[in-house]
Amino acid sequence: MSYLKKILQVVLPLALAAFLFWWVYKDMDFERLKLVLREGLRYEWLLLSVVFSTLSMVIRGLRWQQLLEPVANGARKKTAILAVFVSYAANLIFPRAGEVARCGIVKKSNGASFSKALGTVITERVFDVIFLGVIALAAIVSQLPFFRLFLENNPDALTRFQRILSSKTVWVGLGSVLLLLIFLRYYLKKFSFYSRLKDFLMKLWDGMRSITTLKHPVLFLVYSAGIWLLYFLMFYIGKYFFSFEVNLGVWALLTGFVMGSFGVVAPVQGGIGAYHFMVIYTLVFFGMGESDAGIFALVLHGLQTILSLISGLIAYIWLYFDEKSVK
């Protein structure tokens, strides 16, 4: 049964990703795509995007190592960086598997607590959400007409969100869950596994609290800003990849970047399908042809996917031989 569960955990998100991708591209003008590829992509810009992507993962590894220091003595920068590369590739196999993979690598490398390492990853993700929120706010303020029209064209999304916030059922349900947790806390104390669960949660909390003991908190913020700046630059210079002209400014592309980032959060491998839909919808709104927008999203996402797989494999092999040399 557990084997079947593991298969379904991979297959179901992949099937959803395949369906979303098919749905987005079922009316794609493939003749236009062939023409663009035949005319050639501008590889100097593609190479620059690869540099930006690689640098962003290196910085993410350096930032994570700062969080690991207080809870994982001896956590090396090289290991943290390589683990991040592996995590990007792992996320293409199963959504969010990368977070587990890199914690496992650190645990295996220096015996660090898995739960504490996972706590640092949660903290890292919280800061990513904060930075994405700030960027999204800037995009919303600069492009209010777009988001107003988006909500007008998708009224169900706003209506459902308002219903959720005002639903008595939701609030009663949350209250019931809270009371149930309080009850279970006292009831589960009778069982032997309670102490193990409590120990895991306490270590998880210790990892999350590592943000309060950073040696270089300003550098942590600089790293965070640098990561998201590089992400945006990877998206922005995509306008120079093609033979056709992309007549969109910084704010329009920033909006496309934000919407694409929300698409990546979808519970499918690498945001496949969801990312493409969000980016295409945004770029078309700002006046880009649907075929060209589809090609733009396809090439940017495809480049990042290929790079993640290759760099993740290289990092995994590097870690393997690095471990061998230590032994």
pLDDT digits (tens, 9 = 90+) for 29-51: 777 778 887 887 888 999 999 99
Q: Is the predicted pLDDT of residue 54 greater than 90, yes or no?
A: yes
CA distances from 168 to 155, 164, 173, 179, 223 (A): 22, 9, 8, 16, 42
Q: What single-letter DSSP state applies at residue 327?
A: -
Q: With 0-12 CB in 10 A as exposed, 13-18 as middle and 19+ as buried, what is 101?
A: buried
Q: Is the predicted pLDDT of residue 118 greater than 60, yes or no?
A: yes
pLDDT in tens, 2-34: 555 555 455 555 566 566 666 667 777 777 778
Pick the closest to residue 188 from 178, 196, 114, 175 (CA basis): 196
The pLDDT confidence band at residue 287, using thresholds 50, 70 and 90, is: confident
Residue written as tokens 């035949």?
Answer: 38
CA distance 73 to 161: 44
CA distance 207 to 111: 15
CB 294 within 8 A of CB 304: no
Token output for 30: 């493939």
Q: Kindly state the average pLDDT of the residues 283-288.
A: 87
Q: Is the predicted pLDDT of residue 195 greater than 90, yes or no?
A: no
> In this structure, how many other beta carbons lie within 10 angstroms of the beta carbon of residue 12?
12
| Angle, in degrees to the nearest 10, between helices 274-285 and 250-264 | 160
Q: What single-letter DSSP state applies at residue 237?
A: G
- The pLDDT, as a whole number, for residue 204 is 57
- The pLDDT, as a whole number, for residue 28 is 75
Of residues 61 and 149, more confidently modeled: 61
The pLDDT confidence band at residue 1, using thresholds 50, 70 and 90, is: very low
> Which residues, 6 or more positions from 39, have their beta carbon under 8 angstroms from its beta carbon?
243
